[in-house]
């Protein structure tokens, strides 16, 4: 089966930049999603990548390299409200196009 790997926890400082990595098996890849989830709340959609390169949305950017099975979410000018879990989810053709979810990276922002 496909595994989605991302670090369990990261810590960063308010105002700084942090990069959260996500790796996956390349076979059957059909798109990658990033979601933000605050504790006890619903995941909210952040970004979608299907082609190589960088997608920028304000303070958040997401990068994809299909050949390497690698993506990262870049958060700039960190704010305390960015403390949350960040979920990487990958869509594979051979899993009936269902999303396979990573366990999430818990990001802790310190003042």
Partner 1 sequence: DSGVTQTPKHLITATGQRVTLRCSPRSGDLSVYWYQQSLDQGLQFLIQYYNGEERAKGNILERFSAQQFPDLHSELNLSSLELGDSALYFCASSVGLAGRRGGEQYFGPGTRLTVT
By CB under 8 A, tell whether 31 contacts partner 1.
yes
Task: Using CB under 8 A, pick the residue from 3, 9, 14, 45 that binds partner 1.
Answer: 45
For residue 48, the cross-strand partners are 33
Task: Report residue 78 as tokens.
Answer: 């960190």
The answer to whether 3 contacts partner 1 (rule: CB under 8 A) is no
Q: How far apart are CA 91 and CA 108, in angstroms?
A: 27
According to DSSP, the residues that pair with 73 across neighbouring strands are: 20, 62
**Number of residues this chain uses to bind partner 1 (CB under 8 A):** 22
Query: Residue 64 in contact with residue 71, Cβ under 8 Å?
Result: yes
Site for partner 1 in 49-108 (CB under 8 A): 50, 87, 91, 93, 96-99, 101-104
Q: Which stretches of the chain bind partner 1, using CB under 8 A?
A: 30-31, 33, 40-45, 48, 50, 87, 91, 93, 96-99, 101-104
């Amino acid at each position: 089966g496909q595994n989605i790997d991302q670090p369990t926890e990261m810590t960063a400082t308010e105002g700084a930049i942090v990069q959260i990595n996500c790796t996956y098996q390349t076979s059957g890849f059909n798109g990658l999603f990033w979601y933000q989830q605050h504790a006890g709340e619903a995941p909210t959609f952040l970004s979608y990548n299907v082609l190589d390169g960088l997608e920028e949305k304000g303070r958040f950017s997401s990068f994809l390299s299909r050949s390497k099975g690698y993506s990262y979410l870049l958060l700039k000018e960190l704010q305390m409200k960015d403390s949350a879990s960040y979920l990487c989810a990958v869509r594979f053709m051979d899993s009936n196009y269902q999303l396979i979810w990573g366990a999430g990276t818990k990001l802790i922002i310190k003042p």
